[in-house]
Copies of this chain bind each other. A is one copy, B any other.
Amino acid sequence: AIVQVLETFWAKSTTASLTGKQVLITAGPTQEPIDPVRYISNHSTGKMGYAIAAAFAQAGALVTLVSGPTSLPLPHPAIRRIDVRSAQDMFSATQAAFSQADITILNAAVADYTPAHPADQKIKKKEAQFAIELVKTVDIAASLGQQKREGQLMMGFALETNNERENALKKLHAKNLDWIVLNSLRDSGAGFGHDTNKITVIDRDEQVREFALKSKEDVAQDLLQIVLEKLGSQPALTV
């Protein structure tokens, strides 16, 4: 609690402020329908994204949280939450909110692939084996990256199991991000389902900052500080 107070104080003492800033945050998994009862999803619980939303809301930002299916409560009363299910729904919701967003943080674990032909009826258990054909979903980060205007900031997340930094760097540039936050599945206690996380943040200049394993709330505070530093260094925002 003392750490929280100090960090909040520090946040308020920087030159930059989040008051009046629109922040768009995505969180959680998506569910891609196979038929009316079955779907493809992933192990994201939404905890990291919800902690980020809470940190930014507490710092005075106007937060829109586009959330895939989670069992989490609204993390701060001032947050506007938009619930979505599929990657396509999440794409639509982020498209609608993006032009107003000063800062966009894409933390959701959006499905890369979705069933090509979801069935209207529950698929019966007959064949000994069959295959689900999948097609790529729209790349939300890449699409928003193309639309990004001067002054808009965008942070993406990467979860990699191999060639982590190399893949993360490619993603940073290909999607026109300002930062990429790398979660490693190799770090024990980090990532999906845990209350802690261990991140590495890489910016457009390929500066790398590694952080220690800490609670997702503390990771959210670190990310808030990174954004505040950047806002403080932008000429248009200094007084």
Contact = CB atoms under 8 A, between A and B. Distances in A.
A209 interface: no
A225 to B, nearest CB: 28
A36 B161 contact: yes
Contacts of A160: 122
A38 B41 contact: yes
B129 A132 contact: no
Range class of the A interface residue count: 35 or more
Given A40-B34, A109-B37, A133 B125 contact: no
A185 interface: yes
A162 B111 CA distance: 29
Contact of A133 (B36, B109, B129, B136): B129
Nearest to A162: B121
A44 to B, nearest CB: 8
Contacts of A129: 113, 116, 133-136
Interface string A109-125: 10111001000011111
Contact of A131 (B39, B42, B133, B167): B133
Contact of A134 (B36, B113, B132): B132
Contacts of A162: 121-122
A69 to B, nearest CB: 9
7 contacts: A37-B159, A37-B192, A39-B42, A71-B71, A122-B161, A129-B136, A131-B134
